[in-house]
Amino acid sequence: MNEVGLIGLGNIGGGMCKRLLDRGIGVVGFDVSSAAATAAAELGAKIESSPAAVAQQVDIIVTSLPNPAIVRDVYLGGEGLVAKARRGSTLIETSTIDPNTMRHVGEAAAAAGIDILDVALSGEPAQAILGELVFQVGGADELIDRHLDLLQVLAKKINRTGGIGTAKTVKLVNNLMSLGNVAVAAEAFVLGVKCGMEPKRLYDILSVSGGRSAHFVTGFSKVIEDDYRASFKTSLALKDIKLILDLANDEHYPVRLAPVIASLYGDALEQGLGEDNFTSVVKGYETAAGCTLAHNVNRDCGKTRVTK
């Protein structure tokens, strides 16, 4: 583990790069973004011109990529990892993608004599830098054990999910719950403010009540400050919910809430909120209610109620 390959040097990948370097582990990296590659080089990573060039130098490669299509290209293309990685290498795939793509990649790697781990991660760039991510890991226990030292450098908690594809399933199921929690919280919170509750007082009460979620507690403390700086972008939330809908369709499973959640995040994207935090889904409800949740902004929300 003197040197690790890292393909994808964006927000999370860049954080993992810094974490590895801080722990004295060399990084051989690649990213299509020159800015991301330059930032990693300034940290001390060796930057190569392609995934294939990375694969020819190291025996362990971590990938952190934007979507299933790019994962398929990086792994399965003619110059991809399956074709170019050394036999006996281990590929650790951490992107948010569908489990079917993960299984396809895993089967191709196995046929080429290459080991693979299916990893789904939770956390933000700051947590990646500190090695405080949470990993769901699918793959053979022996292979996980062999790479446990590396996984523990990057993550504070590691959950074993089963075979290849299971970690991606857990990730998407969890994200459906998370996105749904925030959407319901947005609808409920604006209703409370519409009925005359002061936002900060309402937040303080709900954040210790039974309906709370982790994302409500952390996210809505910022919403009432009118702070939508992204820890998880609305555009990524919409990407993930579309993956969830595709997965449900592949499994012939008739989801009923997921399409509604998808439409809410789609509306937020159409409002130009794609770069904002995914709690921006609340803004559509604010518009409908004619008020804002920011507790320090003057509003007439509670004065417009109709009494029957």
Each residue's pLDDT tens digit, 243-279:
999 999 999 999 999 999 999 999 999 999 999 999 9
pLDDT of residue 285 exceeding 70, the answer is yes
- Annotation says 171 is catalytic: yes
pLDDT computed for residue 308 by the predictor: 43
Q: What is the mean pLDDT of residues 228-253?
A: 96
For residue 265, give Cα distances in angstroms to 234, 239, 270, 279: 7, 9, 9, 9
Label each residue of 121-183 as H, E or C: EECCHHHHHHCCEEEEEECCHHHHHHCHHHHHHHEEEEEEEECCCHHHHHHHHHHHHHHHHHH
100 vs 4, 118, 164, 166, 243, CA distance in Å? 26, 12, 9, 10, 11
pLDDT digits (tens, 9 = 90+) for 144-186: 999 999 999 999 999 999 999 999 999 999 999 999 999 999 9
Ordered by where they begin, the domains of the chain are: 3-164 (3.40.50.720), 169-304 (1.10.1040.10)
CA distances from 37 to 50, 125, 145, 200 (A): 11, 16, 31, 42
What is residue 235's predicted lDDT score, i.e. its pLDDT?
96
Q: What is the pLDDT of residues 209-226, one digit of tens each?
A: 999 999 999 999 999 999
pLDDT digits (tens, 9 = 90+) for 15-37: 999 999 999 999 999 999 999 99
| Active-site residue, from 171, 194, 239, 283 | 171
| Contact (CB, 8 A) for 26 and 4 | yes
Query: Mind listing the pLDDT tens digit for each residue in 45-71?
Result: 999 999 999 999 999 999 999 999 999
